[in-house]
Chain A
Amino acid sequence: MHSLIRTHATEFSLLAVIVVISTVLSFATANFFTLGNAFDLLNISAVNIIFAVGLLVVLIAGGIDISFAVAASVVQYGTAIALGWIGGGGWVSGLLIAGSLGVLLGCFNAFLIHRFRIISIVATISTFNIYFGLLMFFTRGVSIYDLPDWLTDRVILFEREMPDGTWIEITLPVLVMIVCVVATWTLITRTTIGRQLYAFGDNPEGARRFGINIGAMQFIAFGWLGLMAGIGGLIQAHYAQEVVPNALYGRELDVLAAVVLGGARLGGGKGTVLGCVLGVLLISITQNGLNLMGVSPFAFKMIIGAIILIAITLSNTRIERLLPFVGQRGTGR
């Protein structure tokens, strides 16, 4: 138990912060503490969680990506056009097209970073501008509302009315999100490639001496984020029932903040899927609570900024200092 708390300090402190905030909100508002609201939160957060687990993989491998959110917008347009060509398509072809386009855009980042030795933040700021510029130029900023019916129809996999009168719903985005989360978790904790990604992010020179294929690591990390960005993009279009070129612009920083909040380290080698999911949920819960409390949306960003600071300070402080019952151990430093 002690070592579990020691090695998962971030997840525990995030969980603690979530519990505290939820308790406060359930007293402050009437609607927060309902199952209906909990499932709403899950539905709302699905796309961000999909993006977040993708970004997590890149951060673990020691990189960073600013371009994935606009890349997701490019994927939305590309997929909408491609679906038009093939005469409508369906979920399977839609996900295949969106996923492959995403992988392609992610691999372009990896190519720049690996082939020309450009550091990832510079490479992806450039592709962020290129992708967004091209998108605005070719679409002239025009949105697409004319999407296939299968894409815009809400898919409810499970629903039930609760005794308190709220409805719980599990929608398609939540299912896709769960699949992405489980797949990412399997990749980074259960496969040899995932452990190589951690090692590469942790100590690139050490990894090189072991003969790990550095180029492959970059393509896998950015390719995986591309895949998640593509899938997330399609799900976002489904959720919003439209494709707006600048709908995801700026989302990259929200997701990045959530992932870092979840314990991933800029610089590599560190981060967990659980932490990442909790990070996104913490921000969503706060936003949702503020909404229900009737706080002005203009104050959201400020409050969320403060919460990120507090949570990161908490998780950087050694957990022993915060929890008196976890004693010091002799083996560590």
Chain B
Amino acid sequence: MGLDSMHQSASAASTDKPLLSLRNINMNFGGVKALKNVSFDVRPGEVHCLAGENGCGKSTLIKVITGVYRPAEGAVIEYEGETYSHMSPVTAQDRGIQVIWQDLALFPEMTVAENIAFHEVLGGWPRLVDYGRMRRIAVDALARLGVTLDVDLPLKEYAIAQRQIVAIARALVGEAKLVFMDEPTASLTQSETDHLLEIVRSLSASGVAVVFVSHRLAEVLEISSRITVLRDGALVGVYPAAGMTQSKITELMTGKTFDQHVRARPRDDQPVVLDVRGLTRPGQFEDISLTVRRGETVGITGLLGAGRTELALALFGMLKPVSGTISIDGREVRFGSNREAIAAGVAYLSEDRLSLGLIQPQPIADNLVIASLRKILSGGLLSEDRKRSLVSRWIADLGVKIGHQADAISTLSGGNQQRVAIAKWLATDPKLLILDSPTVGVDVGARAGIFDIVAKLAESGLAIILISDEVPEVYFNADRVLHMAQGRIVGTYDPRQSRLEEIEAAVYA
């Protein structure tokens, strides 16, 4: 049944008549204009990217299209030849508009079949559940994606990549013609991302239009045919993906130009801060030897699961290496806990800022001082005055934009949260700062700001390890790039002598 409608829309694609077309979309929240006279269109079966920084109106636009929000007077929404002044969630779903939210909205304790065919148990009046029918629907939907999962297992048995696929399968069950995917690859590894993009391509080939929202510009360019860029709630323009570059999209999204240049500089004359020799923890990392000098930024890249984070945790005293040595400033150290590592001058900004790095509901100030409470003691008790002055200093130093120190950290944007997280560790006076994927969930515009801070810190003499699975990040911002694969360092590159493409080819091969 779904296939028929898909063929129809696929044939419509040749006429280039849009499946969805929006004009004069204005959306106001109180006095704030979230969308200013935006227009947007999607052709049948195309992969269309919606690009823009956080807060640019992407999510608001999606919510207007899916009927969650009602746009201001004068809006025109045309979908499959019919005109609406606004959508409703029910109409949107009935007409085949589906959204896969970033948090997936799945039920981990229920089976894969129930998650995919959940609409079967909806409705107010109790009926008997037809499990056979739900299983058939689920198996069909997964087969359409070319995936086999055990539909009788609880969803929690599957990793995030498979859950993503379950969410897509669920959207397809509703005979989707237009699917919105909100940051679908945020927590996937490279090969999982490749598989997902493959699925998006086959959806598109079967006539389903996909609107893709992602911070990862490389995959945006790879997958989409057209890109709509929004900035501050207004339309910047619609561009064909062919001929676009990452830096050009970044410029359009932020309205600023970033010239990315290799920042690497020689640091060989500086004393060694961290000296690691033959560090091994079987199954996680093996025979790791590396040095980081004062003022040096060493980049570590590699696919997720290469052992990068495990290595960082070992340097931070949270995983015990089985053999090998770690020396800081020439003295061998053995950390029994991360408290000892912090005392020895190691700071670690964790990969998962949202759940591990910051305590979201708590005030900005409290988050910032949590790792250096000793410094704000006065007569054995915490001093509000000292806290305030410490926080003010770091907020100014790192250029964090905040309302008030007492506001919850969750009120800040990703980029500003990351600055607070960095400040938290800088307040401990570290010698070595380990940044694990510091730009995950941070806008492109704000990323440049984070790396400016990293460069400034290196200039002031801090030794820095920068971990990222995006090769360009370490290429442009580190003095040396180490490539990790399957727990080992398999390559060392000097960005001044190697080309970016060469390293990318080695890492993503």
**Interface set of A (CB-CB < 8 Å, partner B):** 3, 6-7, 189-196, 198-199, 202-203, 205-207, 209-213, 216, 269-270, 331-333
Given that A269-B107, A331-B157 are contacting pairs, would A192 and B149 also be in contact in the complex, using a CB cutoff of 8 Å? no
Tell me, rounded to whole Å, the shortest Cβ–Cβ distance linking A3 to chain B. Answer: 6
Of A191, A202, A211, which is within 8 A of B126 by CB?
A191
Task: Please name all residues of chain B whose beta carbon is closer than 8 Å to the beta carbon of A194 when the two chains form the complex.
Answer: 129
Tell me, rounded to whole Å, the shortest Cβ–Cβ distance linking A196 to chain B. Answer: 6
Contact A203 B129 (CB under 8 A): no
Task: Please name all residues of chain B whose beta carbon is closer than 8 Å to the beta carbon of A189 when the two chains form the complex.
Answer: 129
Tell me, rounded to whole Å, the shortest Cβ–Cβ distance linking A188 to chain B. Answer: 10
Tell me, rounded to whole Å, the shortest Cβ–Cβ distance linking A265 to chain B. Answer: 8
Tell me, rounded to whole Å, the shortest Cβ–Cβ distance linking A107 to chain B. Answer: 17
Contact B128 A191 (CB under 8 A): yes
Of A196, A203, A206, which is within 8 A of B121 by CB?
A196
Interface of chain A: mostly helix, strand, loop or mixed: helix
B106 within 8 A of partner (CB): yes
Of A193, A205, A210, which is within 8 A of B118 by CB?
A210
Contact B122 A7 (CB under 8 A): no
How many angstroms from the CA of A210 to the CA of B171 in the assembled complex? 12
Contact A270 B122 (CB under 8 A): no
User: Which of B108-116, B238-246, B470-478, B490-498 sits within the interface?
Assistant: B108-116
Contact B105 A203 (CB under 8 A): yes
Contact A192 B126 (CB under 8 A): yes
Chain B 475-504, CB within 8 Å of chain A: the 1/0 string?
A: 000000000000000000000000000000
The list of the 3 closest CB pairs from A to B, nearest first, reads A206-B105, A192-B121, A269-B109
**Interface set of B (CB-CB < 8 Å, partner A):** 89, 101, 103-110, 114, 118-124, 126-129, 149-150, 152-154, 157-159
Contact A203 B107 (CB under 8 A): yes
Q: Tell me which of A7, A192, A194, A332 has the highest count of chain B C-beta atoms within 10 A of its own C-beta.
A: A192
Q: Which residue of chain B has its CB nearest to the CB of A203? A: B107
How many angstroms from the CA of A13 to the CA of B153 in the assembled complex? 19
Known interface pairs A7-B152, A205-B103; 18 further A-B residue pairs with C-beta atoms within 8 A, sorted by A's residue number: A7-B154, A191-B128, A192-B121, A192-B126, A192-B128, A198-B107, A198-B109, A199-B110, A199-B118, A199-B121, A202-B110, A205-B105, A206-B106, A269-B107, A331-B153, A331-B157, A332-B158, A333-B158
Contact A191 B149 (CB under 8 A): no
Task: Please name all residues of chain B whose beta carbon is closer than 8 Å to the beta carbon of A202 when the two chains form the complex.
Answer: 107-110
Task: Please name all residues of chain A whose beta carbon is closer than 8 Å to the beta carbon of B89 when the two chains form the complex.
Answer: 211
Contact A190 B128 (CB under 8 A): yes
Given that A3-B153, A7-B153 are contacting pairs, would A198 and B110 also be in contact in the complex, using a CB cutoff of 8 Å? yes
Task: Please name all residues of chain A whose beta carbon is closer than 8 Å to the beta carbon of B159 when the two chains form the complex.
Answer: 333
Contact A203 B124 (CB under 8 A): no
Of A7, A195, A207, A333, which is within 8 A of B129 by CB?
A195
How many angstroms from the CA of A202 to the CA of B105 in the assembled complex? 10
Task: Please name all residues of chain A whose beta carbon is closer than 8 Å to the beta carbon of B107 when the two chains form the complex.
Answer: 198-199, 202-203, 206-207, 269
Interface of chain B: mostly helix, strand, loop or mixed: loop
Task: Please name all residues of chain A whose beta carbon is closer than 8 Å to the beta carbon of B106 when the two chains form the complex.
Answer: 203, 206
Tell me, rounded to whole Å, the shortest Cβ–Cβ distance linking A6 to chain B. Answer: 7
Given that A6-B157, A7-B154, A192-B129 are contacting pairs, would A216 and B109 also be in contact in the complex, using a CB cutoff of 8 Å? no
How many angstroms from the CA of A206 to the CA of B106 in the assembled complex? 6
How many angstroms from the CA of A213 to the CA of B124 in the assembled complex? 8
How many angstroms from the CA of A207 to the CA of B122 in the assembled complex? 10
Task: Please name all residues of chain A whose beta carbon is closer than 8 Å to the beta carbon of B101 when the two chains form the complex.
Answer: 209
Task: Please name all residues of chain A whose beta carbon is closer than 8 Å to the beta carbon of B120 when the two chains form the complex.
Answer: 192
Task: Please name all residues of chain B whose beta carbon is closer than 8 Å to the beta carbon of A195 when the two chains form the complex.
Answer: 110, 114, 121, 129
Task: Please name all residues of chain A whose beta carbon is closer than 8 Å to the beta carbon of B105 when the two chains form the complex.
Answer: 203, 205-206, 209-210
Show 21 residue pairs from A and B whose CB-CB distance is below 8 angstroms, ordered by the A residue: A7-B153, A190-B128, A192-B122, A192-B126, A192-B128, A193-B126, A194-B129, A195-B114, A195-B129, A196-B121, A202-B109, A202-B110, A203-B105, A210-B105, A210-B122, A269-B107, A269-B109, A270-B109, A331-B158, A332-B153, A332-B158
Tell me, rounded to whole Å, the shortest Cβ–Cβ distance linking A332 to chain B. Answer: 4
Tell me, rounded to whole Å, the shortest Cβ–Cβ distance linking A148 to chain B. Answer: 35
Tell me, rounded to whole Å, the shortest Cβ–Cβ distance linking B176 to chain A. Answer: 16
Task: Please name all residues of chain B whose beta carbon is closer than 8 Å to the beta carbon of A7 when the two chains form the complex.
Answer: 152-154
Contact A331 B150 (CB under 8 A): yes
Task: Please name all residues of chain B whose beta carbon is closer than 8 Å to the beta carbon of A198 when the two chains form the complex.
Answer: 107, 109-110
Of B122, B124, B129, which is within 8 A of A190 by CB?
B129
Contact B122 A196 (CB under 8 A): yes
Task: Please name all residues of chain B whose beta carbon is closer than 8 Å to the beta carbon of A6 when the two chains form the complex.
Answer: 153, 157
How many angstroms from the CA of A333 to the CA of B118 in the assembled complex? 23
How many angstroms from the CA of A202 to the CA of B104 in the assembled complex? 13
Task: Please name all residues of chain B whose beta carbon is closer than 8 Å to the beta carbon of A207 when the two chains form the complex.
Answer: 107
Q: Which residue of chain A has its CB nearest to the CB of B99? A: A209
Task: Please name all residues of chain B whose beta carbon is closer than 8 Å to the beta carbon of A196 when the two chains form the complex.
Answer: 121-122
Q: Tell me which of B101, B106, B122, B127 has the highest count of chain A C-beta atoms within 10 A of its own C-beta.
A: B122
Task: Please name all residues of chain A whose beta carbon is closer than 8 Å to the beta carbon of B110 when the two chains form the complex.
Answer: 195, 198-199, 202, 269
How many angstroms from the CA of A305 to the CA of B268 in the assembled complex? 64
